[in-house]
Amino acid sequence: MIPKYNQPQLFETALTHRSALNEKSLPATASNERLEYLGDAVLELATSQFLYHQLPDEPEGVLTAFRSALVKTQTLADLALELGIDQQIIMSKGEVRTGGRTNPSILADTMEAIIGSLYLDQDFPAVVAFLEKNLFPKFKQVQADGSWKDAKSLLQETVQAQGLPTPKYKVIKESGPDHDKEFVIEIRVNHQVRGRGVGKNKQQAQQEAAVQALKQLTGKD
């Protein structure tokens, strides 16, 4: 559940996708991109702090891997859907028609913008409390299913164990301006499509695709 804001306008801005600017004759700064930038940094700090205390005996590399799993695009997109944020995003009619409300990248970006707006409205402790209630409980599942490990490496180990050829990754879509790219990557194993991933860079999209392929090949959700 989203906390009640002292400054509701901050929450509205966090929900405003850039596609709505022209349609509503709003200035560039009215979109959620600045809040997303701030929220990304706040989320990283809060998650790093949580993992530092949660895993006192693990090295930096393991903490980084867990953090990546907790703040990756799909995890944040799933959280946005759980909180009903998808139906609250302010976007253009065209964006809605092309599936904007279910676009993982848009959902994740909006989630980061909300975290940024909550930080400005109520400061860091409120963000931590929000994440402890909504995001950090996912840590146990991430720990149990091994998704915190490098998905591409795990996939390579899996296909080798099953006697399958090396996975092949292919960019099937690239969109957005240079400062806000979105990549869709498809992964094939033995000439069969095993997964698709979406990310702000190719590496992130490949990791997402590898997670999907692992689920198919191992039968684990």
pLDDT tens-digit series, residues 47-72: 999 999 999 988 776 787 788 889 98
CATH code for position 24: 1.10.1520.10
At which of 94, 116, 145 does a domain end?
145
For residue 187, give the 3-state DSSP assignment.
strand
Who wins on pLDDT, 126 or 202?
126
15: in domain: yes
The verdict on 85 and 162 lying in the same domain is: no
Mean per-residue pLDDT, 133-158: 86
67: in domain: yes
Mean per-residue pLDDT, 138-162: 83
The verdict on 125 and 187 lying in the same domain is: no
Mean per-residue pLDDT, 183-192: 95
CATH code for position 177: 3.30.160.20
81: in domain: yes
C-alpha span between 98 and 44 (Å, rounded): 30
The verdict on 55 and 75 lying in the same domain is: yes
Q: How far is CA 146 from CA 19, 67, 142, 154, 189, in A?
A: 37, 13, 6, 9, 21
The DSSP line for 165-176 is PPPEEEEEEEES
The verdict on 114 and 34 lying in the same domain is: yes
> For the chain, what percent of residues have pLDDT higher than 90?
64
Q: What is the residue range of 99's domain?
A: 8-145
The verdict on 139 and 169 lying in the same domain is: no
The verdict on 130 and 178 lying in the same domain is: no
The verdict on 88 and 120 lying in the same domain is: yes
Mean per-residue pLDDT, 207-221: 79
The verdict on 90 and 158 lying in the same domain is: no
Q: What is the per-residue burial (b if ≥16 Cβ within 10 Å, else e) of 123-146?
A: eeeebbebbeeebbeebeebeebe
Q: What is the per-residue burial (b if ≥16 Cβ within 10 Å, else e) of 35-46?
A: bbebbbebbeeb
The verdict on 176 and 92 lying in the same domain is: no
- List active site positions: 40, 112
pTM recorded for the entire structure: 0.72
Q: Which residues contact 160 (CB under 8 A, 6 or more apart)?
A: none
Segment holding 48, helix H or strand E:
helix 33-54
pLDDT of residue 221: 52
